[in-house]
Amino acid sequence: VSLYRGNCRPLRFEPPMLDFHEQPVGMPKMEKVYLHNPSSEETITLVSISATTSHFHASFFQNRKILPGGNTSFDVVFLARVVGNVENTLFINTSNHGVFTYQVFGIGVPNPYRLRPFIGARVPVNSSFSPIINIHNPHSEPLQVVEMYSSGGDLHLELPTGQQGGTRKLWEIPPYETKGVMRASFSSREADNHTAFIRIKTNASDNTEFIILPVEVEVTTAPGIYSSTEMLDFGTLRTQDLPKILNLHLLNSGTKDVPITSVRPTPQNEAITVHFKPVTLKASESKYTKVASISFDASKAKKASQSSGKITVKAKEKSYSKLEIPYQAEVLDGYLGFDHAATLFHIRDSAADSVERLIYLTNTFSFAVLIHDVVLPEEAKPMFKVQNFSKPVLIPPNDSRYIFTLHFMPSTSSVHIDNNILLITNASKFHLPVRAYTGFLDYFVLPPKTEERFIDFGILSATEATSILFAVINSNPIELAIKSWHIIGDGLAIELLTTEKGNRTTIIANHHELQNASASDQSS
């Protein structure tokens, strides 16, 4: 029971305080709160209800007057905008019983569809802010976006391709994949703080679940440097992925040209590399100009603090404040380990019996990895088959599991296969190398000789000496060591000129240098 000032006139709340616990960012949760008037003679008149944070929204009261011994109710919606703890106090004003306070709590957790609110964008008047909405499918079934609409006249939704209509396929996201389904385009001619919402509904779980993304844009007449995006979002990366690159586009809304002198991460971050050459932004341009490209290397992100920060842009203009654009990345630390010898196959010169290898994977991630599908590349299909894969296979953290059997049927057509089996998982796609080799070397005689398979010296006089260049190529996906070479017959000598990485094209391109090369002193 909460007792309040003014001769201790009470108003009782049910529940006494409201805890929403964990809710994904952008996914609203609604709860009802009841107000009881325990007085036997006084009617309490409610005037207003207010919250001081954008994470909680309170509805109007069902009845403004609570008769003696009666009750009323109102709804509270928790819409988390950030990951982390949120708490707030609701103020309930009454006409002659003072102000009552009510505590609400909640915890924002990452959105399963990897969606985030578009908050903190600043754009000059008459220009636009148009982020692409990328949705991740965390389920093992395709995810269908059923509907999507926006509130507010300044916010429009358009297809990422710019076309007018699209098929249902465009709105379907394959299992565990991320896809750009819409572009939210915001443009305004009035300087003000604008708030709008995008509501997204999918066919996931039950039809009551929908996502609400707040879009907050500050439209201003102040001259300055503006970024086309309010955040550089590198998405979800694994430590063994290639660095992801995002471009930074800027616009100068001022009346004079402004040189951009530096673009750098603050604080300094090993995982971030900025490719930037000083550039001057022309005055009053309506188009954004690419100023820098920023790459995030997940393998260098050793600490959690490295997965977010700001990119600071400095301009050679005293009156402009420096521009700061936040960046973020989610780094998944770990890999799927396997025995490399298990996917390496030798094609013998006579068609031997087929080979079967059991493929086991080890999960070093801190979460369970779900193998949803195994896809063979087209060029490997004549020789390989995936057997005994009963999908999906779950590999607990720091554990190994049998995934499938790789069946190999060698063919005597000596083709080398050096490709990747695609593993589709809840932690993006993995490549499992699959290789088949003959172990044979190939050779060809270099131009100007037209006959590539024969070393033909033609007719020579007794005292003449001549030489012909030929190349030996290892196109196997494994290293081969040449132990020795022998010449049968008199009057011939063979010398090694050079060894290098490359293929036939590389050799022909270096033909001129090879002709002038002297014998190599390397015997390896």
Instruction: Say what the pLDDT of residue 157 is.
Output: 86
Domains of the chain, each with CATH number or no CATH: 12-109 (2.60.40.10), 113-222 (2.60.40.10), 234-332 (2.60.40.10), 336-437 (2.60.40.10), 441-524 (no CATH)
Strand duo 99-109 + 18-24: pairing: parallel
pLDDT digits (tens, 9 = 90+) for 149-172: 888 778 888 887 766 666 778 888
Paired strand residues for 182: 133
Q: Which amino acid is residue 314, in one-letter code? A: K
- Phi and psi torsions of 132, nearest 5°: -90, 140
- CB-side exposure of 385: number of CA atoms within 13 Å? 8
| Alpha helices for 269-413 (secondary structure H) | none
pLDDT in tens, the chain (524 residues): 344 444 445 788 999 999 999 999 988 999 999 999 888 888 888 888 888 888 898 888 888 888 888 999 999 999 998 889 999 999 999 888 888 999 999 999 988 898 888 888 888 888 888 888 999 998 888 899 888 888 877 888 888 776 666 677 888 898 888 888 888 888 878 888 888 889 998 887 655 678 888 888 899 888 888 898 889 999 889 988 899 999 999 988 888 888 998 999 999 999 999 999 988 988 877 788 899 999 999 999 988 899 999 999 998 888 787 889 999 998 988 889 999 889 988 887 666 678 899 999 999 999 999 999 999 999 888 889 999 998 789 999 999 999 999 999 887 666 788 899 999 998 888 999 998 888 888 888 888 777 788 888 888 888 888 888 888 988 888 888 888 888 888 888 888 888 888 888 888 888 777 777 776 655 54
What string of H, E and C letters represents the secondary structure of 119-147? EEEEEECCCEECCEEEEECCCCCCEEEEE
Cβ atoms of 455 and 445 closer than 8 Å: yes
Cβ atoms of 183 and 160 closer than 8 Å: yes
Structure tokens at 108: 């924002």
Residue 437's Cβ-count burial label (10 Å; 0-12, 13-18, 19+) is buried
Structure tokens at 371: 């193998």
Distance of CA 380 to the CA centre of its chain: 29
Distance of CA 238 to the CA centre of its chain: 9
d(CA 149, CA 155): 10
Q: Kindly report the pTM of this predicted structure.
A: 0.74
Alpha-carbon distances of 521 from 418, 496, 502, 517, 518, rounded to whole Å: 33, 8, 21, 12, 9
Cβ atoms of 383 and 408 closer than 8 Å: yes
d(CA 315, CA 321): 8
d(CA 283, CA 253): 6
What is residue 480's three-state secondary structure?
A: coil
What is residue 279's three-state secondary structure?
A: strand
Instruction: Say what the pLDDT of residue 368 is.
Output: 92
Q: What is the dihedral of CA 120, 122, 128, 129, to 10 degrees?
A: -20
Using alpha carbons only, what angle is made at residue 104 by residues 98 and 106, rounded to the nearest 5 degrees?
A: 165
